[in-house]
Structure 1
Amino acid sequence: MRTWGPLTAVCLGTFMLLLDVTIVIVALPDMAGALDASLSDLQWVMDGYALALAALLLGTGAAADVLGRRRTHVAGVALFAVASLLCGLASGPAVLVAARVAQGLGAAAMLATTLPLLGSVYQGRQRSVALGVWGAVSGAAAAVGPVLGGLLTDGPGWRWIFYVNLPVSVAAVWLTLRAVPESKGAAGRRIDWAGTALFAGVAGAVTYGAVRAGADGWGDPGALAAFGLGAAALVCFVVVELRSADPLLDPRLFLRPAFTGVMLGALAFTGAAFGLLPYTSIWLQTMLGMSPVGGGLVFLWLSLASFAVAAAGGRLLHGVPARFTVGGGLLLIGLGHFCMAFLDAGSTASALVPGLVLVGLGTGFTAPGIAGAALAAVPPERSGMAGGAVNAFRQLGYAIAVAVFGTVLTSRMTGTLPREAAHTLAGGGADALRGAVGEQALRAAFASGLNTTAVVAGAVGVTAGLLVLALVRPPRPRVAGVTDPAAAALSEERSARASG
């Protein structure tokens, strides 16, 4: 218990929270039918969770350092469990979305404390082993999500993808209280409430604007107002963080090209790799007539390729600079989506396989190295901030991608279908249209929409890969009289505090 107890407790929570990012993908058509949900509703079912997780991850991590990491972790698991129960009992899309947001808040408290808790318990070789196991569990959770979601949806029903969290949560709380000691951050640290609120405002406004644009067009006043509010919140966030004694995310770190490159890569990575999967799942089930299990098994090609690279890469790629593994992985993700952009009305699931394999290979290269690249790009005293930022940017990228890709999908469909019909089709309501629109026309419209969206996802992956290759470089040897601007800014800040 003393050796494996803390690792098991932390891994249980991690498995649950990452599983819930992807487990709902194959259940979306069943949810739409049971709850009479629209495309926007389904987008928020995905985004409510990812957005809350991304927006609050940095803030809950800072709060945990002050309040206690174990206490925060247990509170997060408990909230996650209650929210999961509410998700399963939801009678309509609004209740489900609200419960998913609460799930995301609990998940943020869990994810923000996992690595600090492991770091406080394990040292030396044990720490390396613990982090390796935690990384494997993290990858497994995202990979098995669609398959497990399909089994539960086909079996007892989609509500059980949430109910299954309840016994796991009870076990996680019991084991955490029994095996994990309490720990806190450095004394005297304060919680950056203003930074937390503003970062959440930026993330929420941008995502809402993208979803609203998908429903009402990019020129919609509500969408434009949301984007304007997000821009204003971003400016305020930068100002507040520059003046904060304990910033949530120090903007001066972005003066370092390597850090900027890693954050752009993190923002693009999860969105480019997984943002198209919800709409692909809807196409597989409503257009091709596949079951949730069958649809989930299609994505197994991505998971297996990712596992294969991750398993072999740790040994074969040891010592390879992160710019090549992360940048090259993003290029493969982009290429994979370009390969999936050739669907037509007669396409079957097999047309996706080459692209999914390439996306999986890219994921296997990118995922293990991106956190390490973030830590290597900052001074040691900023490593906690960088680790939290890279996880937050990954989840934020997924939330934004789901919203934007849904907008691209429906915009392309409106070239051949009325706007309302396009939204119904993309939201899993093909059966409601089959009496008025021919099957061939529906298949052609959906395939065309997926093709355009795959091209956009591919462009995101390739662009991010090239930026990482260009920006993430090893630090140059210091030359007399030449100082890194970010280091200089941080040094001046510390000197000012000391003199004040």
Structure 2
Amino acid sequence: MRKWIPLAAICLGAFMLLVDVSIVNVALPKMSTDLHSSFTSLQWVVDIYALVLAALLMALGSLGDRLGHRRLYLGGLVVFAAASLTCALAPDAATLIASRAAQGVGGAAMMTSTTALLNGAYQGRDRGTAFGVWGAVNGAAAAVGPVLGGLLTDQFGWRSIFMVNVPVAVLALAMTLGYLKGGAGAARGRLDLLGAVSFTAFAGALTYGLIESGDKGWGSAMVLGPIAVGVLALLVFVLAELRAGRSGQPLLDLGLLRNRTFLGLTLAGLLLTAAAFAQLTYTSLWLQQVLDLSPLDAGLAVCPLALAAFVVALVSGKVMHRFAPQLPIGVGLLLIGGGTLLLGLVSAGSGWAALLPGLLVTGVGVGMSTPLLMSTALAAVPRERAGMASGAINTARQLGYALGIALLGTIFQNRVREFTGHAVGRPDLHAAFAAGLDRVFLIAGCTGLVAGVLVLALVRRTPPPAWAAAPAQAAPTDAVAAARS
């Protein structure tokens, strides 16, 4: 049994960092009341974590190649535990948001190290078993997050959802130090610092501008300024990668994007999380603030999506290899789009059950589209670029979630403001929320449909090679969890 302790150490960290993507959603109303925070602050509490994950995954992956992934994983655990403690003790929204950003730094360091650590710790059949268990744990994190968040918030208050991370991180740290081997990084050469900084600036500035547009309006300097900075930073990133590519040390080889299959799958990862999961933040607010559900009941109300995705991913992994990969991925994305549009059945008089058909269809789509997403992307690129390709896909998924929350929040706010402005007499809270959600579900659903069409048009049949088999086993549930709900 001792040989599986390294797997347990890695899975504890992975479970913890992925649960924290979704565990916060059901606690938002309690946080808002306790900290007297605004709607924009609520967006940042959820979004900053995913945003930092997205912004730092590629950079920290490159750093781990140089320092050693065990060192990076240990550092990530320490940062994540300390940040979780400051989240739990936060006296105001600003402190909580800053602490969530620090959690994202620790989470990115852990996330980018897990597959490398598993590859180093196990060989042969044990490696396949390890990746399978790791993938199942990731999928469980997606399903458990909202329910665990609701249970802890109901019983012990919202601060407990962060405090519980501390003993888990300490246990993972002790097991890693005692049983997980790792040496110095093998990579040499300079880190692409300009690429890392410019990409982080692009993601942060763009997300900031989108979130602030809900309050300030699209014409505000507080919105246009950050968006302009984001566009400029993206241009700097492209130029930096072109220059670094000539020396063979880029953060992202832009030549990969000339591969239509890889480009289509990167866009699919970006749009999948925005379509399937970003809207759940506002759905959770509706369930608690309008329907008066408890945090636990709200978590249970949305978990059919993750459960359906988990079950379908397990089944589809044995069946979908018979088809060209663009079919299950593309059709799954079309189901995500259709399922999210079905969520638009919610009206002023609806109860939580109105969500069930849309959540189930969306979950089936997620379960169909994600098992082959990563392995097909890896099969489409040269072997020496596999780590870079994996980091790019994971970055796209997290960035899609962060940008989706920001954009859908603006759409929600503007629609509610528009509805209440035209209401005669005192606006009906139920009707205003339903109107806002209807617009959110419409945009998210169309996003899923566009993603499906892009995959069917761009992705070519590329059978997964033998060297991509182990990561592919983890992909079904990892993709479900990484977004996350």
Paired position in structure 2 for 1:257: 260
Paired position in structure 2 for 1:433: none
Paired position in structure 1 for 2:167: 167
Shift of 1:124: 2.1
Matches within 5 A, 1:46-445: 46-244=46-244, 245=247, 246-418=249-421, 438=426, 441-445=428-432
Shift of 1:418: 4.8
Paired position in structure 1 for 2:40: 40
For residues 287-339 of structure 1, what are the alpha-carbon distances to aligned partners after superposition, in whole Å with 9 as ceiling and x for unaligned? 11111111111112112211220221121223433212221111111101110
- Whether the 8 Å contact between 1:117 and 1:183 is mirrored in structure 2 is no
User: 1: CA distance between counterparts of 2:144 and 2:256?
Assistant: 35
Looking at CA atoms only, which structure, 1 or 2, has the larger radius of gyration?
1
- Whether the 8 Å contact between 1:61 and 1:112 is mirrored in structure 2 is yes
What secondary structure, in the 3-state scheme, does the structure 2 residue paired with 1:415 have?
A: helix
- TM-score, normalising length from structure 2? 0.92
Shift of 1:191: 1.6
Paired position in structure 2 for 1:479: none
Paired position in structure 1 for 2:29: 29
Shift of 1:272: 1.1
What secondary structure, in the 3-state scheme, does the structure 2 residue paired with 1:191 have?
A: coil
For residues 176-200 of structure 1, what are the alpha-carbon distances to aligned partners after superposition, in whole Å with 9 as ceiling and x for unaligned? 1111111344342432111111110
What secondary structure, in the 3-state scheme, does the structure 2 residue paired with 1:155 have?
A: helix
User: 1: CA distance between counterparts of 2:187 and 2:151?
Assistant: 48
- TM-score, normalising length from structure 1? 0.89
| 1:467 is the counterpart of 2:454 | yes
Shift of 1:208: 0.5
Match for 2:96: what amino acid? L
User: 2: CA distance between counterparts of 1:369 and 1:412?
Assistant: 37
Shift of 1:139: 1.0
User: 2: CA distance between counterparts of 1:184 and 1:437?
Assistant: 68
User: 1: CA distance between counterparts of 2:343 and 2:82?
Assistant: 39
- Whether the 8 Å contact between 1:202 and 1:234 is mirrored in structure 2 is yes
What secondary structure, in the 3-state scheme, does the structure 1 residue paired with 2:321 have?
A: coil
Paired position in structure 1 for 2:468: none
User: 2: CA distance between counterparts of 1:108 and 1:466?
Assistant: 31
Gaps of 5+ in 2: 464-485
Shift of 1:127: 1.4
User: RMSD in angstroms over aligned alpha carbons?
Assistant: 1.7
User: 2: CA distance between counterparts of 1:325 and 1:3?
Assistant: 36
Which stretch shifts more, 213-222 or 398-407? 213-222
Shift of 1:366: 2.1
Alpha-carbon distance change, 76 to 473 in structure 1, aligned in 2, over 3 angstroms: same
User: 1: CA distance between counterparts of 2:135 and 2:88?
Assistant: 29
Shift of 1:443: 0.8
- Whether the 8 Å contact between 1:64 and 1:184 is mirrored in structure 2 is no
User: 2: CA distance between counterparts of 1:212 and 1:370?
Assistant: 33
Alpha-carbon distance change, 187 to 311 in structure 1, aligned in 2, over 3 angstroms: closer
User: 1: CA distance between counterparts of 2:431 and 2:5?
Assistant: 53
Shift of 1:437: 7.4
User: 1: CA distance between counterparts of 2:117 and 2:370?
Assistant: 21
Shift of 1:77: 0.5
For residues 233-281 of structure 1, what are the alpha-carbon distances to aligned partners after superposition, in whole Å with 9 as ceiling and x for unaligned? 1111011111113111111111111111011001011121110111101
Paired position in structure 2 for 1:487: none
For residues 61-105 of structure 1, what are the alpha-carbon distances to aligned partners after superposition, in whole Å with 9 as ceiling and x for unaligned? 111111111011000001000000000000000000000000000
What secondary structure, in the 3-state scheme, does the structure 2 residue paired with 1:3 have?
A: helix
- Whether the 8 Å contact between 1:120 and 1:183 is mirrored in structure 2 is no
Match for 2:39: what amino acid? L
Match for 2:376: what amino acid? A
Paired position in structure 2 for 1:426: none
- Whether the 8 Å contact between 1:66 and 1:190 is mirrored in structure 2 is no
What secondary structure, in the 3-state scheme, does the structure 2 residue paired with 1:315 have?
A: helix
Alpha-carbon distance change, 142 to 462 in structure 1, aligned in 2, over 3 angstroms: same
Match for 2:434: what amino acid? A
User: 2: CA distance between counterparts of 1:331 and 1:186?
Assistant: 42
Shift of 1:390: 0.8
Match for 2:459: what amino acid? V
- Whether the 8 Å contact between 1:412 and 1:452 is mirrored in structure 2 is yes
Paired position in structure 2 for 1:446: 433
What secondary structure, in the 3-state scheme, does the structure 2 residue paired with 1:182 have?
A: coil
User: 2: CA distance between counterparts of 1:206 and 1:406?
Assistant: 14
Gaps of 5+ in 1: 423-435, 477-500
User: 2: CA distance between counterparts of 1:183 and 1:469?
Assistant: 42
Q: Which runs of 4+ in 1 moved over 3 A?
A: 183-187
User: 1: CA distance between counterparts of 2:219 and 2:183?
Assistant: 50
What secondary structure, in the 3-state scheme, does the structure 1 residue paired with 2:250 have?
A: coil
For residues 381-420 of structure 1, what are the alpha-carbon distances to aligned partners after superposition, in whole Å with 9 as ceiling and x for unaligned? 100000111111111110000010000011111222259x
User: 1: CA distance between counterparts of 2:446 and 2:100?
Assistant: 30
Q: Kindly, what percent of the aligned residue pairs are identical?
A: 50
- Whether the 8 Å contact between 2:419 and 2:435 is mirrored in structure 1 is no
